[in-house]
């Protein structure tokens, strides 16, 4: 492999350039190259400052995660950062794109940092089940206030260059040519005394122990069993009371412990799975058509969220509704989402004005005749959707793509309702659609490769995680959830109670229990869905009546204060013994002898059902890989990410 580290000399300034595509990860050859560059520039008396810059789209995005499963080959990253800190010449990190994890730690080893506007800087190791392992927990809180370092390290969320400048993480922002600005900056510091190395400085604005403990407690609740945020908080708390050397040793010890833990294995698996699922060999040579104008049919919660996502991706959007009153409400919803984005600082006033300017609305389908792509998000009913598709088919240009945001309907039947089924695709967004990253891209039988590839590309443009799925009732996620729900209902009749099942799955790490989730969605929704399926349900299939009975007691869930649970404050589920009695009475009525179940039995039983349904999806070609199933479950259905997903779990426990 060619040397990824090059040195150019510009007068008295050395420019050390890293070129290790795609993200300049700190592979062994990069680490070794940086160490030689330190030695070379130290030895050259003409050089008075060094700029560290990267080729390609980003500064270093971290340690090379692909090396994590193998024995570490020196020089190790912590030693590289220590060597940088001790370099004879001042090093200036010139940062663009992302400086993440080990990449930011390298920048912290440099004596100055300048970043291009738009750069993101962060220590996202917790998302991989780790903590920073090359001095980040020790150096960051010596550069910026501990409260800011704590937030960055325990959340893993990167900050913008503007925020980094305000906290002192970077010394300067470049608005134009990064290298030119970095050289100009270097010239201003050449004659200054060398700043103290970060490891020689005290902690900046340490937090009181009780403040950190309170934050740690809040984190433990939020991370629901994930170790890394908790260990990150504990490490920072301890580091406040230690000298830098002892802090570095503690960080290393905790980093290595976490790296060897199964949670980090699972999170690394999901990291690569999320990147692999959208790579589809069969459409490698397909033509991706340019998309600039989107028509959205229906301005309800889903339609508005999808429209806002499209606007935020700089697309022109026309919203269609059936009457003026609904149209006004739809536009209001979209504008409200953009307004929240502005209030949160994600877009500024000028961008808000530009994006709202890209939105038009109409009650006439002819106004989307020129759209490149139309997404319908009307009521989830086959006849209503068929009607919309027939109208669309008649007005849009022949090359326009028609997508349905359905969560379970037969997309092939919908495509057959049009004259051009090859341009029909499903895009199953998750609610709220402007926030949730997951989209299932439903591959209909007759869809053309170009339409499929263009739909995948559009999802990427919307910054979504697109997972292809075949046509079946519920696609990947809802089908697994149906199997999970069915099995949980059998467990109710067989001996478990709703709160016991919910507690078991929450203690496994699920965001919410299944029965709490049904209460949140509204028991009327599930009831209506079951009635729609009555006609086609196999009469010999085991059917559990408990949810129907609760609905008929006018317990609709959170919305009217009672469902499987009672809600006194409208949101906190309270266990209701009346529901236990109803469940027990149902077992009796069906003459089922109840057997109590332990938490582990409940968990194992339900996970096995999910994995079995996943195996069926694979054998039916609905899901292309176990990774696709895991990515859907983790990103759309609250399966704990640090467990990797049901397929990963079944493989690891096999």
Residues marked active site are found at: 105, 125
Figure out which of the listed residues 13, 37, 64, 518 binds ligand 3H9, where binding follows CB under 6 A. 64
* Nearer to ligand 3H9 among residue 31 and residue 558 (C-beta): 31
Strand partners, 40: none
Distance, in Å, from the CA atom of 480 to the CA atom of 628, rounded to the nearest integer, reads: 13
Tokens of 261: 């833990």
Residue 132: CB minimum distance to ligand 3H9, A: 4
**Least distance from C-beta 24 to ligand 3H9, angstroms?**
9
| Closer CB to ligand 3H9, 230 or 259, in the complex | 259
CB of 129 to ligand 3H9, least distance (A): 10
Applying CB under 6 A, which part among 120-128, 162-170, 411-419, 633-641 lies near ligand 3H9?
A: 120-128
127 and 154 in contact (C-beta within 8 Å)?
A: no
Which residue in 626, 516, 552 sits closest to 277, CA to CA? 626
Q: Give the whole-angstrom CA distance, residue 99 versus residue 105.
A: 9
Asked if 63 interacts with ligand 3H9 (CB under 6 A), we say: yes
Provide, rounded to whole angstroms, the least separation between the CB of residue 128 and ligand 3H9.
Answer: 5
Q: How many residues bind ligand 3H9 (CB under 6 A)?
A: 26
DSSP structure string for 556-580: -BGGGTBSSSEESSSSSEE--HHHH
Q: How far apart are CA 517 and CA 407, in angstroms?
A: 17
Under the binding rule (CB under 6 A), the answer on residue 101 touching ligand 3H9 is yes
Which parts of 136-155 interact with ligand 3H9 (CB under 6 A)? 136
Q: Which member of 129, 133, 468, 498 binds ligand 3H9 (CB under 6 A)?
A: 133
CB of 23 to ligand 3H9, least distance (A): 4
The least distance separating ligand 3H9 from the CB of residue 394, rounded to whole angstroms, comes to: 39
What residues from 258 to 277 belong to the interface with ligand 3H9 (CB under 6 A)? 272, 275
77 touches ligand 3H9 by CB under 6 A: yes
Q: Which residues of 432-467 are buried (b: 16+ CB within 10 A; e: fewer)?
A: ebbebebbbbbbbeebbebbbbbbbbbbeebebbbb
Which of residues 10, 55, 66, 192 is near ligand 3H9 by CB under 6 A? 66
Query: Rounded to whole angstroms, how far apart are CA atoms 413 and 445?
Result: 10
Q: Rounded CA gap, 71 and 69, in Å?
A: 7
Measured from the CB atom, the residue of 58 and 455 that comes closer to ligand 3H9 is: 58
Nearer to ligand 3H9, 64 or 393 (CB): 64
Residue 102 as a binder of ligand 3H9 (CB under 6 A): the answer is: yes
- Say whether residue 125 binds ligand 3H9 (CB under 6 A): yes
Where does this chain touch ligand 3H9 (CB under 6 A) — which range of 33-41, 131-139, 293-301, 358-366? 131-139
Neighbours of 597 (CB within 10 A): 19
3-state SS, 5-28, equals EEEEEECCEEEEEECCCCCCCECH
Cβ nearer to ligand 3H9, comparing 232 with 602: 232
Q: Which helix (H) or strand (E) holds 431?
A: none
Smaller CB separation from ligand 3H9, 21 or 357: 21
Nearest to 239 by CA among 120, 154, 113: 154
x/- map, 22-61, ligand 3H9, by CB under 6 A: xx-x--------------------------------x--x
**CA-to-CA distance for 649 and 654, rounded, in angstroms?**
8
DSSP secondary structure code for residue 67 in this structure: G
Query: For residues 645 and 610, what is the distance between their CA atoms, to the nearest angstrom?
Result: 10
Please check whether residue 515 is in contact with residue 562, taking contact to mean a CB–CB distance below 8 angstroms: no
Give the DSSP letter of residue 268.
Answer: H
Token pair in block for residue 560: 């009217």
- Nearer CB in complex with ligand 3H9: 228/500: 228
Residue 615 has φ and ψ, to the nearest 5°, of: -65, -40
Q: Which residues bind ligand 3H9 (CB under 6 A)?
A: 22-23, 25, 58, 61-66, 77, 98, 100-102, 105, 124-125, 128, 130, 132-134, 136, 272, 275
């Amino acid at each position: 492999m060619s040397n990824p580290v090059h040195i150019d000399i510009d007068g008295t300034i050395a420019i050390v350039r890293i070129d290790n595509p795609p993200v300049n990860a700190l592979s062994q050859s990069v680490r070794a190259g940086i160490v030689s560059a330190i030695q070379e520039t130290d030895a050259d008396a003409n050089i008075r400052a060094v700029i560290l810059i990267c080729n390609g789209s980003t500064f270093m995005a971290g340690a090379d995660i692909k090396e994590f499963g193998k024995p570490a080959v020196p020089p190790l990253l912590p030693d590289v950062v220590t060597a940088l800190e001790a370099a004879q010449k001042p090093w200036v990190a010139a940062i663009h794109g992302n400086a993440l994890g080990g990449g930011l730690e390298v920048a912290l080893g440099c004596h100055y940092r300048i970043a291009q506007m738009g750069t993101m800087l962060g220590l996202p190791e917790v998302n991989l089940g780790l903590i920073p392992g090359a001095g980040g927990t020790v150096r960051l809180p010596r550069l910026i206030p501990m409260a800011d370092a704590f937030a960055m390290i325990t959340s893993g969320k990167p900050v913008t260059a503007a925020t980094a400048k305000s906290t002192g993480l970077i010394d300067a922002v470049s608005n134009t040519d990064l290298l030119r600005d970095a050289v100009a900056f270097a010239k201003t510091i050449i004659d200054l005394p060398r700043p103290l190395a970060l490891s020689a400085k005290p902690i900046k604005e340490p937090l009181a122990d009780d403040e950190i403990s309170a934050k740690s407690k809040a984190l433990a609740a939020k991370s629901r069993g994930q170790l890394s945020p908790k260990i990150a908080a504990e490490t920072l708390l301890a580091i406040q009371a230690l000298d830098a050397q002892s802090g570095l040793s503690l960080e290393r010890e905790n980093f290595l412990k976490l790296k060897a833990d199964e949670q980090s294995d699972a999170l690394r698996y999901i990291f690569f799975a999320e990147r692999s699922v959208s790579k589809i060999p069969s459409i490698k040579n397909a033509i991706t058509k340019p998309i600039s104008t989107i028509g959205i049919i229906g301005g309800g919660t889903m339609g508005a969220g999808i429209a806002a996502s499209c606007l935020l991706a700089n697309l022109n959007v026309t919203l269609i509704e059936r009457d003026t009153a609904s149209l006004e409400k739809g536009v209001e919803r979209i504008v409200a989402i953009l307004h929240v984005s502005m209030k949160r600082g994600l877009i500024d006033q000028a961008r808000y004005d530009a994006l709202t300017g890209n939105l038009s609305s109409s009650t006439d389908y002819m106004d989307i005749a020129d759209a490149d792509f139309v997404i319908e998000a009307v009521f989830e009913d086959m006849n209503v959707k068929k009607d919309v598709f027939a109208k669309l088919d008649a007005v849009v240009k022949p090359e326009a793509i028609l997508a349905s945001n359905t969560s379970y309907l037969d997309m092939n039947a919908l495509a057959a309702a049009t004259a051009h089924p090859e341009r029909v695709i499903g895009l199953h967004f998750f609610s709220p659609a402007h926030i949730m990253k997951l989209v299932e891209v439903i591959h209909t039988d007759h869809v053309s490769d170009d339409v499929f590839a263009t739909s995948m590309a559009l999802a990427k443009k919307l910054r979504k995680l697109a997972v292809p799925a075949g046509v079946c009732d519920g696609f990947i996620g809802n089908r697994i959830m149906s199997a999970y729900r069915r099995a949980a209902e059998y467990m109710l009749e067989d001996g478990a109670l709703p709160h016991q099942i919910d507690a078991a799955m929450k203690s496994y790490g699920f965001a919410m229990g299944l029965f709490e989730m049904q209460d949140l969605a509204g028991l009327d929704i599930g009831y209506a869905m079951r009635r729609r399926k009555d006609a086609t349900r196999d009469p010999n299939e085991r059917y559990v009546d408990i949810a129907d009975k609760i609905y008929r007691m006018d317990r609709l869930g959170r919305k009217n204060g009672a469902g499987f649970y009672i809600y006194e404050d409208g949101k906190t589920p309270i266990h209701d013994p009346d529901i236990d009695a109803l469940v027990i009475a149902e077992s009796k009525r069906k003459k089922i002898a109840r057997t109590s179940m332990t938490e582990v039995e409940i968990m194992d039983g339900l996970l096995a059902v999910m994995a079995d349904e996943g195996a069926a999806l694979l054998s039916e070609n609905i899901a292309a890989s176990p990774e696709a199933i895991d990515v859907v479950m983790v990103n759309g259905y609250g399966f704990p990410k640090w467990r990797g997903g049901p397929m990963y779990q079944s493989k690891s426990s096999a």
